């Protein structure tokens, strides 16, 4: 069935108000298929987000959606208590007509819907250090808000999601199997990684030794997973809650740096443009520490540069693995897209290594 027909069918199963007048794909995000939907009522227009969930990745959609509904309900209560706007400051899941958290079509496709948050934008590249600072305060605050969330009620949706050692082992398997016959193109990248094999163990070891606390973390804190208000420029809503799971705050801090402190897009082909900006690193560090209101341990803050470097290395490993496996995980839009993405990550790692002392000094300044 073509995608238009699938969307129509999905829409019929949700409690959307009015008649559908527009549905268009939003080509953002590497995982799910996201559509913007407009419905007309007599005197106004209602807007929604409809998402086809990637069931190759999210095998248990019941559990995935149970997590998201529990988290958004929890956040909603806090927003209301604080006098905020629950329609804008957290995602709102729309139920299906038969009161389910998502719609499963006959072809097995799984669809969910959210209220559309208006007058706000997600960015793939930072426009100003101030915006990035605002996103840091919001991600820090998100961490703080979830610090009392009953972690035992959360399903671990993707086990070992940020287990860097496991990611490296999967890459080694992909190299051995070489099913797409691409290892010949990536020897330089493999050598780069093998020189840093020891680094891949740092965070896993600290977690094993309980030197880092497990918290409820977002695990995918890139800039295009936060909506920034078009007028006030404040970061208003954290989205993409698929991977909220117990984890370390180092990954949340680090992933924001990996994506947002880069001076170029994640898939930039001209590597001379790719750097980790210290101005942006500083803006984020300041905002994140403010947002978490000193709830983090000294050890966690001290490890921020490590967090940034290791998650960047890990993300590069994941892009490279997917490239070697024939691009089955991350959506691609051109040939060698995943390799281009992996290369930017390794360039960032190298740049962070060159700026290590500066990164440490910045963290110290705000700790």
Binding site for Mg ion (CB under 5 A): 29, 225, 240
| Integer Cα distance of 108 and 70 in angstroms | 24
| Integer Cα distance of 95 and 76 in angstroms | 16
83, two tokens: 């006098």
Tell me whether residue 16 or residue 323 sits nearer to ligand GN1 (CB atom). 323
Please state the φ and ψ torsions of residue 23, each to the nearest 5 degrees. -145, 120
Q: Which residue from 140, 133, 121, 139 is spatially nearest to 280, judged by alpha carbons? A: 133
Tell me whether residue 116 or residue 366 sits nearer to Mg ion (CB atom). 116
- Using CB under 6 A, pick the residue from 23, 29, 145, 351 that binds ligand GN1: 29
Min separation Cβ 102 and Mg ion, Å: 17
- The listed partner (ligand ADP, Mg ion, ligand GN1, none) that binds 315, CB under 5 to 8 Å by sort, is ligand GN1
Q: Is 119 left (phi over 0), alpha (psi -120 to 50) or beta?
A: left
SS (H, E, C) 18-76: CEEEEEEEECCCCCCEEEEEEEECCCCEEEEEEEECCCCCCCCHHHHHHHHHHHHHHHH
233, two tokens: 């420029």
Q: Are 164 and 204 in contact (CB under 8 A)?
A: yes
Tell me whether residue 216 or residue 362 sits nearer to ligand GN1 (CB atom). 216
- The listed partner (ligand ADP, Mg ion, ligand GN1, none) that binds 117, CB under 5 to 8 Å by sort, is ligand ADP
Tell me whether residue 51 or residue 225 sits nearer to Mg ion (CB atom). 225
Alpha helices in the chain (DSSP H): 3-12, 61-81, 129-145, 164-177, 187-194, 202-208, 249-260, 278-291, 298-302, 304-324, 337-354, 356-366
Min separation Cβ 123 and Mg ion, Å: 12
Q: Is 31 in the site for ligand GN1 (CB under 6 A)?
A: yes
Tell me whether residue 141 or residue 225 sits nearer to ligand GN1 (CB atom). 225
Contacting residues toward ligand ADP, per CB under 6 A? 26, 28-32, 34, 49, 91, 114, 116-117, 122, 224-225, 239-240, 242
State the residue number with the nearest CB to ligand ADP: 29
Tell me whether residue 51 or residue 143 sits nearer to ligand ADP (CB atom). 51
Q: Is 242 in the site for ligand GN1 (CB under 6 A)?
A: yes
Min separation Cβ 216 and Mg ion, Å: 18
Tell me whether residue 16 or residue 33 sits nearer to ligand GN1 (CB atom). 33
- The listed partner (ligand ADP, Mg ion, ligand GN1, none) that binds 34, CB under 5 to 8 Å by sort, is ligand ADP
Min separation Cβ 106 and ligand GN1, Å: 26
| Integer Cα distance of 235 and 211 in angstroms | 31
Site for ligand GN1 in 196-225 (CB under 6 A): 220, 222, 225
Q: Which residues 6+ apart lie within 8 Å of 107 measured at CB?
A: 1, 6
Tell me whether residue 71 or residue 212 sits nearer to Mg ion (CB atom). 71
Binding mask 286-325 for ligand GN1 (x = CB under 6 A): -----------------------------x----------
- Using CB under 6 A, pick the residue from 131, 266, 282, 322 that binds ligand GN1: 266
| Integer Cα distance of 27 and 6 in angstroms | 17
Please state the φ and ψ torsions of residue 111, each to the nearest 5 degrees. -125, 140
| Integer Cα distance of 38 and 47 in angstroms | 5
**DSSP assignment string, 149-198:** S-GGGS--SSTTTT-HHHHHHHHHHHHHH-TTS-GGG-HHHHHHHHTTTG
Stretch of 1-9, 28-36, 61-69, 105-113 lying at the interface with ligand GN1 (CB under 6 A): 28-36
Stretch of 6-14, 239-247, 289-297, 349-357 lying at the interface with ligand GN1 (CB under 6 A): 239-247
Min separation Cβ 6 and ligand ADP, Å: 17
- Footprint of ligand GN1 on this chain (CB under 6 A)? 29-31, 57, 220, 222, 225, 240, 242-243, 266, 315
């Amino acid at each position: 069935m073509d995608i238009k027909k699938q969307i129509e069918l999905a829409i019929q199963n949700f409690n959307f108000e009015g008649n559908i007048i527009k549905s268009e794909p939003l080509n953002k995000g590497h995982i799910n298929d996201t559509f913007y939907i407009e419905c007309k009522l007599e005197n106004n227009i209602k807007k929604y987000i409809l998402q086809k969930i990637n069931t190759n990745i999210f095998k248990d959609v019941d559990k995935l959606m149970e997590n998201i509904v529990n988290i958004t309900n929890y956040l909603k209560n806090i927003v209301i208590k604080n006098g905020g706007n629950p329609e804008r400051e957290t995602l709102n899941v729309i139920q299906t007509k038969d009161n389910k958290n998502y719609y499963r079509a006959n072809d097995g496709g799984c669809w969910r819907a959210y209220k559309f948050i208006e007058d706000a934008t997600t960015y793939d590249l930072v426009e100003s250090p101030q915006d990035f600072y605002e996103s840091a305060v919001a991600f820090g605050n998100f961490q703080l808000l979830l610090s009392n969330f009953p972690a035992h009620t959360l399903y671990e949706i993707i086990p070992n999601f940020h287990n860097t050692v496991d990611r490296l082992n999967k890459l080694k398997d992909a190299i051995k199997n070489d099913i797409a016959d691409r290892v010949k193109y990536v020897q330089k990248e493999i050598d780069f990684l093998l020189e840093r094999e020891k680094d891949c163990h740092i965070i896993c070891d600290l977690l094993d030794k309980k030197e880092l606390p497990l918290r409820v973390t977002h695990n995918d804190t890139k800039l295009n997973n936060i909506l920034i208000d078009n007028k006030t420029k404040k970061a208003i809503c954290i989205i993409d809650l698929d991977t909220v799971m117990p984890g370390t705050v180092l990954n949340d801090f680090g992933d924001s740096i990996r994506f947002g402190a880069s001076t170029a897009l994640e898939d930039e082909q001209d590597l001379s443009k790719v750097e980790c900006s210290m101005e942006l690193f500083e803006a984020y560090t300041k905002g994140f520490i403010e947002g978490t209101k000193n709830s983090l341990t000294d050890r966690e803050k001290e490890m921020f540069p490590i967090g940034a470097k290791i998650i960047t290395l890990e993300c590069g490993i994941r892009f490279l693995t997917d490239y070697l496996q024939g691009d089955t995980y991350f959506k691609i839009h051109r040939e060698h897209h995943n390799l281009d993405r992996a290369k930017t990550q390794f360039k960032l790692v190298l740049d962070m290594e060159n700026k290590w002392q500066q990164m440490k000094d910045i963290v110290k300044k705000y700790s």
